[in-house]
Structure 1
């Protein structure tokens, strides 16, 4: 079996072949963002002599493992090294054959995957994101690392904003420039991501500097909004105070990456995406508008979009942590005041779910407020301008740890790897094979032709519901959605 070798702008890469799929792992798309380049926009990689070994994943961005109960369901990985701005490529042998001999390649569709992790964790080296099933089905798959936590989303007085977002944009530029060498079609690039990865994709679609880099987009369970600079800077100020330094590039550059991660853990202790508290966020400014508003106003209308969420997103943070049993009347009252939830909305949700615990009701409201309502709002706006949108919901309920249809539960199905250890940690091994066949097949079809296989968003509000039996549901829970006004 021959070893696959390709030439990109920075040099030659030597990958591996396994089961009819060529893999190139740990490929730098930008220079290492440390030393003089720390807290700077991504810079071109200087290149390398000879052939670079691309047989193993590259370094991961500085971060800490999950804790507080989440470590039982969400994996972590740490790979040492400075070249954290790297990506992985999986390509079918059929696509590589022409490319290796200098031909044009097969011109297959491309998916670029942006991982999640609340902008503070995650890596393309996680087994969850193995691109083999996509390559097996004729898609050249690219997974991207970007700076997370303080390295990627600090708001410093004298450094660019949203460095992690700029990394993703740089990786998309690399893909446009280089993917033909792996048999991919640079004119058929679908960017896809989940959670914070989907939030970054929303920002990419809204960012003027990223115009033309994306042909299709898949957004899974990602809030669409960014925060004003002062709000996004809150966690940076807290970390600076914890460390006794100024919130400047010079001061933060003097702190070792692991010390920044430790400070981050101290100031975010006890916070979650659904209950609030300090956390990293995209910051509006320096070219980035509020993504949600820009998208509703028409940004990226030319890009076909597949978007959705799970039916019980918040259970990821409520069940494994035991938080669901600690949410009481005052928490619901605080949420009502903070988010101006109308009495009629609370009444409608309570009437529809009379036996629900307060913690579960809190989770349902959080899921709709953060994800389902913005998804519907954007889809409606795009419909009014004739833009193509498909909406889905993942409703299959895992029996493990009371997770149900929680955040991240769709990932094993999308990647068609239900038997992988990381998948079993979420699903308990109970997810039916038909679920993965339906969902993975829809994602592949969207990459190939821009249509996942059900009717696009229209006035009947079709939502493809992935469950034990996948079906299209029209205007699900419309009375609850409409009650928000």
Structure 2
């Protein structure tokens, strides 16, 4: 075929992609594992079978079953005929040929482990590939009950196993797309960053990547006992047992509704689920002792990530986006702040009391109820888990770099600040339409373009081995890159929060709090 329809041979067969206008070649919807339905439902991913002839790779594969959050369920057609090929990936490459030897960047999407798909426009890898000179890979992995519920008769952490299978595909095939399998960087945000943290702790993922960028690492990892208890509630919503046999009889498109139902009433389980009951997060990676032997912080502190160069960071106002979506932005009462402090602050009881609030009030004496509410949520869920992951990496003899995004997005009148997810359009350079338009407004994008260019250059420079442009993090100086209108290198800005959480050990959340 011509240059506009490049062809590549993979281990499974020939693929035909498309050359974008003034851009890289792109191959979409490449299966990296067999569809996990029927006899393979709730199983570990199986290698994809080969095909004869040339397979067109021009359209994204169907997403895995989704939660109804943000209308994502409407984008997933469940197990309809021909739409069960959830486990696919996409490749953007400036130079589709086996001799190019370009660095590779593999993206893991976020979505609270309940939603997410690689075909969203904000994850288009064309600009990163074109301007950064890298091969970009995005992939689907199972989410929700399909991917993360701990159920009898099924391996734990199936969504993580999907990611490992995709990375194995990259190892075996990316050279044909112009990539270097020995220069793979995995990057992810939110649940994608949590997945990445888990991969760093998983023996099955060892050696599949040499660099990693974890953007806003969530602290939600479940013990097996907690995950088992939550799975029982999922099954109870359907009048079934929490087994692969029972749940496997439910159409994939129907299953996320059970997860949504439990997520909507988690407050009823405060005595059993502790701080988690004050969230709407019913699934997360499970520290099962086998697929994921220990929580990431413990694994890295013991040296599990020593051979992987790590970048970690967070945004300044992580929780503000969720406040806007939940209708609490500008509406937080003293009582709501007290409950949040009691549930999430170090020293709190995980319940409705306010045992942990005094330390926060003392550390932030000028903060009103809304700021305290936002701070403790941000710290518990993203900011301190991210910081502690970098510190664990350094303690384990590895190398880590840290950043904080402090630039306030102009979207929604500027009220979102440097909120959760703002780094995604900046890193990909996709600044308009969809979620980016909500965060960044309708333009003009001059400031966003300048900051995006800096972040893209840092991420692709890191992936290529050229460096980030700021020093490594250490326990004494704690120097970090602060991304703002004028980026600077400074001591970690959130010192008050760091001090409050200094003695806290992040790990698997336990049944009973």
When normalised by structure 2's length, the TM-score is: 0.86
Residue 374 of structure 2 corresponds to which residue in structure 1?
363
The counterpart of 1:229, out of the listed 224, 236, 247, is 224
1:34-183 aligned at under 5 Å gives the runs 34-67=37-70, 77-78=75-76, 81-92=83-94, 95-96=95-96, 99=97, 104-136=98-130, 137-183=132-178
Judged with a 3 Å threshold, the aligned counterparts in structure 2 of structure 1 residues 343 and 319 are, in CA distance, closer, same or farther, namely: closer
| Paired residue secondary structure (1:141) | strand
Gaps of 5+ in 2: 268-275, 349-355, 503-513
Residue 257 of structure 2 corresponds to which residue in structure 1?
262
How far residue 374 of structure 1 moved from its aligned partner, in angstroms, is 2.8
1:428-467 aligned at under 5 Å gives the runs 428-430=441-443, 431=445, 432=447, 433-449=449-465, 451-458=467-474, 459-467=476-484
Give the Cα–Cα distance (whole angstroms) in 2 for the partners of residues 480 and 199 of structure 1.
Answer: 21
When normalised by structure 1's length, the TM-score is: 0.91
Residue 296 of structure 2 corresponds to which residue in structure 1?
291
Give the Cα–Cα distance (whole angstroms) in 2 for the partners of residues 337 and 360 of structure 1.
Answer: 15
Give the Cα–Cα distance (whole angstroms) in 1 for the partners of residues 108 and 180 of structure 2.
Answer: 19
1:33-91 Cα deviation digits (max 9, x unpaired) = 00000000000111211111100100100114434xxx7xx998436611100000000
1:245-260 aligned at under 5 Å gives the runs 245-260=240-255
Contact 1:435–1:468 under 8 Å retained in 2: yes
1:335-384 Cα deviation digits (max 9, x unpaired) = 34334255553133431x43x4x233211112122332233333334334
The counterpart of 2:25, out of the listed 12, 22, 26, is 22
Count of residues paired in the alignment: 469
Give the Cα–Cα distance (whole angstroms) in 1 for the partners of residues 281 and 386 of structure 2.
Answer: 24
Contact 1:110–1:141 under 8 Å retained in 2: yes
Give the Cα–Cα distance (whole angstroms) in 2 for the partners of residues 479 and 83 of structure 1.
Answer: 47
- Two-structure CA RMSD over aligned residues (Å): 2.2
Contact 1:464–1:471 under 8 Å retained in 2: yes
Give the Cα–Cα distance (whole angstroms) in 2 for the partners of residues 78 and 177 of structure 1.
Answer: 29
1:164-211 Cα deviation digits (max 9, x unpaired) = 000000101110110001000000000010000110111111001111
| Paired residue secondary structure (1:473) | strand
Contact 1:108–1:140 under 8 Å retained in 2: yes
Gaps of 5+ in 1: none
Residue 423 of structure 2 corresponds to which residue in structure 1?
410
1:469 correspondence with 2:463: no
| Paired residue secondary structure (1:258) | coil
How far residue 290 of structure 1 moved from its aligned partner, in angstroms, is 1.4
Give the Cα–Cα distance (whole angstroms) in 2 for the partners of residues 478 and 39 of structure 1.
Answer: 43
Judged with a 3 Å threshold, the aligned counterparts in structure 2 of structure 1 residues 480 and 118 are, in CA distance, closer, same or farther, namely: closer
| Paired residue secondary structure (1:257) | coil
| Paired residue secondary structure (2:241) | coil
Judged with a 3 Å threshold, the aligned counterparts in structure 2 of structure 1 residues 79 and 413 are, in CA distance, closer, same or farther, namely: farther
How far residue 424 of structure 1 moved from its aligned partner, in angstroms, is 1.3
Give the Cα–Cα distance (whole angstroms) in 2 for the partners of residues 389 and 310 of structure 1.
Answer: 17
Contact 2:313–2:402 under 8 Å retained in 1: yes
Give the Cα–Cα distance (whole angstroms) in 1 for the partners of residues 104 and 239 of structure 2.
Answer: 46
Judged with a 3 Å threshold, the aligned counterparts in structure 2 of structure 1 residues 52 and 379 are, in CA distance, closer, same or farther, namely: same
Give the Cα–Cα distance (whole angstroms) in 1 for the partners of residues 277 and 328 of structure 2.
Answer: 11
1:305 correspondence with 2:307: no
How far residue 419 of structure 1 moved from its aligned partner, in angstroms, is 3.0
Judged with a 3 Å threshold, the aligned counterparts in structure 2 of structure 1 residues 343 and 280 are, in CA distance, closer, same or farther, namely: closer
How far residue 270 of structure 1 moved from its aligned partner, in angstroms, is 6.4
Contact 2:42–2:244 under 8 Å retained in 1: yes
